[in-house]
Amino acid sequence: MITPKETWIQKGYEIYALNGLESLKVEQLAKAVEVSKSSFYHYFADLECFLENLFDHHFKRFSVLSKKEANCKSIHPELLDVLIEHKIDLLFHRQLRINRNDKGTEAALLRSSQILGNYGVMLWAKDINLKLTTNQLKGLFEIATEDFYMQIHKDNFHRKFLSEYFENLTRISNRFV
């Protein structure tokens, strides 16, 4: 059974992921959770405390995602299925990247990026038999990661977009080889 505090966190996590930091207002959250604003303050001292709870939730979700990515044997369909299953988590991470000018958000971004690692791009490099040095792969991963998070949003995060994204990444990468 989900607790009221967990309900606040799950709904806030989704709102942040889909609409960004500016959408996290106690009154709007209370409407989404369908309880009074005072209930929010029963569980969280303020929005900063609430954000810390959202970040902790994100770290747990990204740990799950990382383990699933590590077990994938191919991009199609395994990795795509995992990415689609974790759409909200990836969109939340996108918002961390967008709002990284805040110190707390920057720290959360760094920690969650370390948790996730680079399983997806390494699988992709293996999948297309890309022969690059470790440093070249790291550089490509940094560029591809930034590009990925800047392209995704709630309306385009589906199998067709993800397939096309990896195909395009393959075309671009093959130009370097």
Q: For residue 4, is the peptide bond before it cis, meaning its omega torsion is within 30 degrees of 0?
A: no
Q: Which residues have a Cβ under 8 Å from the Cβ of 85 and sit 6 or more positions away?
A: 68
The pLDDT of residue 123: 81
Q: Average pLDDT for residues 117-135, to the nearest whole number?
A: 77
Do residues 24 and 53 lie in contact, with contact meaning Cβ atoms separated by under 8 Å?
no
Provide the number of structural domains found in the chain. Answer: 1
Q: Average pLDDT for residues 102-107, to the nearest whole number?
A: 96
Q: Where are the alpha helices (DSSP H) in the chain?
A: 4-19, 26-33, 37-43, 47-71, 80-85, 87-98, 103-116, 119-127, 134-151, 159-176
Statement: residue 18 has pLDDT above 80: yes
* Least confident span in 23-27, 107-111, 129-133, 167-171: 129-133
Statement: residue 135 has pLDDT above 70: yes
Give 177's pLDDT tier (boundaries 50, 70, 90): low
Look up the CATH number of the domain holding residue 25.
Answer: 1.10.357.10
Q: How far apart are the first and last CA of the chain?
A: 52
Give 77's pLDDT tier (boundaries 50, 70, 90): very high
State how far the alpha carbon of 20 is from the alpha carbons of 51, 96, 123, in Å.
Answer: 12, 9, 30
Domain residues for 54?
A: 4-176
